[in-house]
Amino acid sequence: MEHRRSVALLIETSNAYARGLLEGIIDYIRHHERWSVVVPEQERGASPPGWLAGWKGDGIIARIETDEIATAMRRTKRPVVDVSAARHLPGIPWVETDDEAITKMAVEHLVERGFRHLAFCGDAGFNWSIWRQQHFERLVREAGCECHLHQSIPRSDPKYSWNREKRGLANWLKQLPRPIGIMACYDIKAQQLLDVCRELNIAVPEEVAVLGVDNDRLLCDLADPPLTSVICNSHRTGYEAASLLDRMMSGENVGAESVLVKPLGIETRQSTDILAIDDPDVAAAVRFIRENASNGINISDVLREVPLSRRVLEKRFHRILGRTPHEEITRLRIDRVKRLLTETSLPLTEIARRTGYRHDEYLSVAFKKLVGMPPSSYRKAEQRHLPSDETGHPIWPDQSHLLDDRENVATLSPRLAR
């Protein structure tokens, strides 16, 4: 009988991100060698199971959230891959989200909606929150916007209580200028902000727009109003962790290799569904462009939607957004081209059709001018980051969110959603 490697997964199942990790690991096993998997039932940061000390398995993928778990991992003398940002066990392979890319996506989402005051609400108990705040401050400064920060009391702090946390959030929200766009470090913190806004009778998103991270659908849909969130690719994070562990169990020395996984996009819901632009004509133009950029529109189509001359629209548009309507159309088209090149195997002719270009040659010229390389080179570079099956072919993500129908527009191109 063929020997199956035994792998322990010390990953909680209590949140959407961790379940995504498990789904990615399952996908790797499905496409490669079968493993005998042990998944103990435990909470995030819980003590390692007692049986681990005498376990005779082959490898472990763990969320190493505490020093206690780190010590238990050392004692096993087994290959271990860490899928936590806490870094309690440096020197071993590590797979995590790309916090800079997550934050950049969130800042762009709020800036594109016209917010000039941006805020970050973090939790100092998590490294990923600290890193996201650092990136946020820099990116907001580079965008020429005003930055406002708030650090919540970590849940691990003995002084923590929800009532105390709520008072801190309320005092902070009362002092903020409005309108303002807020990035919360993750969906739970964003949901708390929305609860406090409701108690203070702060209109969301008209006065305060709120965006989370993780796209936990249950949390986002239960929030009032429904919460916009960055879609982390935890599925791929789990897949990459499984790939690393497989290499280690095969005898390869991977050292302290780290893999940072970029987010998939933003799912726009009601909590940021607004354009914070004082000029109603420019706001109407921006909304029309976001909804129709991939339909082959040009500046003449935009001018039919607003009662302005081309010269006046371009001047006011550039004053508020820092670019012309034509540049905005091109930027949004190229953004979608990038996603289709990265996340699908569609031929360039089909991508051109879906993004409003008459011919793939026109697309290639525009793409190279803006990105600095032809679409084929961009796709090849991005494919290197995709997981592959046993034949070496890339495994493409689920493409249902890239369909043309209007009901998928918020997921297919977050910058076109409104």
Between 211 and 274, name the one with better pLDDT. 211
Domain boundaries, the chain: 5-96+234-263, 99-232+266-272, 280-381+402-416
pLDDT per residue over 1-59, tens digit each? Answer: 567 899 999 999 888 999 999 999 999 999 888 899 999 887 787 888 989 989 999 99
CATH superfamily of 280-381+402-416: Homeodomain-like (1.10.10.60)
Residue 191's alpha-carbon distances to 19, 77, 89, 186, 304, in angstroms, are: 20, 41, 31, 9, 40
| CB-based contacts of 293, cutoff 8 Å, min separation 6 | 328, 329, 332, 333, 336, 356, 416
For helices 310-321 and 325-343, give the axis angle rounded to 10 degrees: 60
pLDDT at 330: 94
Residue 157 is predicted with a pLDDT of 86
Write down the pLDDT at residue 409. 33
Q: Is 290's pLDDT higher than 90?
A: no
Cα 111 to Cα 203: distance, rounded to the nearest angstrom: 19
Burial 185-207 (b: 16+ CB within 10 A, else e): bbbbbbbbbbebbeeeebebbeb
Q: What mean pLDDT comes out for the span 120-131?
A: 95
> How high is the pLDDT of residue 394?
56
Q: Are strands 59-62 and 80-82 parallel, antiparallel or unpaired?
A: parallel
pLDDT digits (tens, 9 = 90+) for 190-211: 999 999 999 999 999 989 999 9
Predicted TM-score (pTM) of the model is 0.78
User: pLDDT tens-digit profile of 43-101?
Assistant: 787 888 989 989 999 999 999 999 999 999 999 999 999 999 999 999 899 999 999 99
| Per-residue pLDDT reduced to its tens digit, 229-269 | 999 999 999 999 999 999 999 999 998 889 999 999 999 99
Select the CATH number that applies to the domain covering 5-96+234-263 from these four: 2.60.120.620, 3.40.50.1370, 3.40.50.720, 3.40.50.2300. Answer: 3.40.50.2300
Domains 99-232+266-272 and 280-381+402-416 share a fold: no
The Cα–Cα gap between 324 and 50 comes to 63
> Right CATH number for 99-232+266-272 from 3.40.50.300, 3.40.50.720, 3.40.50.2300, 3.20.20.300?
3.40.50.2300
Which pLDDT band, with edges at 50, 70 and 90, does 403 fall under? Answer: very low
Say whether pLDDT at 355 is over 80. Answer: yes
